[in-house]
Amino acid sequence: MSVKRFIAPLFAAGALAVAMPACAQAQYPDRPIRLVVPWAPGGATDVIARIVGKRLGEQLGQPIVVENKGGAGGNIGTAAFVREKADGYALLMTTSSTNAINTHLYSQTGYDAAKDFAHVAFVGSIPNVLEVPAKSPFKTARELLDYARANPGKLDYGTAGVGSSQHLAAAQLVHSAGIEITHIPYKGSGLAVADLLGEKIDFMLDTGSLSQVKGGALRALAVASGERLSVLPDVPTFDEVGLKGMHAAAWYGLAARAGTPPEIVARLNKEVNAILQEPAIRKQLEEMGVQVGPLRDPAALDAFVLKEIERFKALVEMSGARLD
């Protein structure tokens, strides 16, 4: 065989070997994708996952199957997720609790929040809203705060539990306003909201009870964000009532396993960011109180989450919360 005849087949084989991975990546996805939600059905994380997941599946041409794996403050589902293959066929609905707060609350979470994830997209955040029962004597945030200052320990507030986003928001409020209030932890925000509606507790800082506010059963006094919520345009921010920098929100995103091919992560990032700019999707999310975006690329997301892990360390220490 001549040298030319020998080299030609090798060249062709080499070209085929190089082309095969590119071809395989170009075919992603070629089967359904699972979206793990580390919380029970019906909560804000679950609803957001289904809104975004359904549209993402349409864009990718493959169904997104939502799997709820709740328990231990989101740790059970998240720890199970990090045992998945890093191939883009299992995604995780991330939250500020599971991916930033829990590492400071629990001695063991079953995962490394800083290393085990390839962050795909940032969906948005829901600011905490200061809410009281409709029959509460407090008509404004200033009235409630003035009473709390004059009557230390007399007002109580409910949360989804020690270390929850509501608890950390209240710790910020205590620090910012210089007040003393009594914490009543519940096993879930639904139980706390039920007692708020029944006037068994004085107030909550919550992210998931806007429907009761819009329905008139609860009264919103202030929003813990830099700007007013579009769904509550008449409710002032804490900045507006004199508590500058009182910003507290739960955030939501999507992640793949660390080690997922960057081409897949980039593709998912591009698709989700495009979805979040669709008017119909934005309307659905904003009606839940979600402040959509800002849109970030994967590298910026990784940096954001690392900063959030550090930021929440100080907040957890401020609250005194610890779960083991």
Domains and their CATH numbers in the chain:
25-126+250-319 (3.40.190.150), 129-223 (3.40.190.10)
Distance CA 64, CA 89 (A): 9
Angle among Cα 89, 249, 135 to the nearest 5 degrees reads 125
Helix 44-60 with 279-287: angle, nearest 10 deg: 170
CA 125 to chain centre: 6
- Report the pLDDT averaged over residues 219-228: 96
At 27-48, the pLDDT tens digits run 999 999 999 999 888 888 999 9
pLDDT at 72: 87
Distance CA 64, CA 14 (A): 36
Place of tokens 């864009």: 59
pLDDT for residue 9 is more than 70: no
Write the Ramachandran bin of 293: left for phi over 0, alpha for psi from -120 to 50, otherwise beta: left
At 281-304, the pLDDT tens digits run 999 999 999 999 899 999 999 999
Q: pLDDT band at residue 161, thresholds of 50, 70 and 90?
A: confident
Say which residues have a Cβ less than 8 Å from residue 180's Cβ, sequence separation at least 6: 148, 152, 153, 174
pLDDT at 43: 83
At 250-277, the pLDDT tens digits run 999 999 999 999 999 999 999 999 999 9
Sheet with 156-159: strands ordered across = 182-185, 156-159, 203-206, 129-133, 218-223
Distance CA 77, CA 64 (A): 17
Distance CA 163, CA 46 (A): 20
pLDDT for residue 84 is more than 90: yes
pLDDT at 26: 54
35 is written with which tokens?
Answer: 């979206």
242 is written with which tokens?
Answer: 């004199």
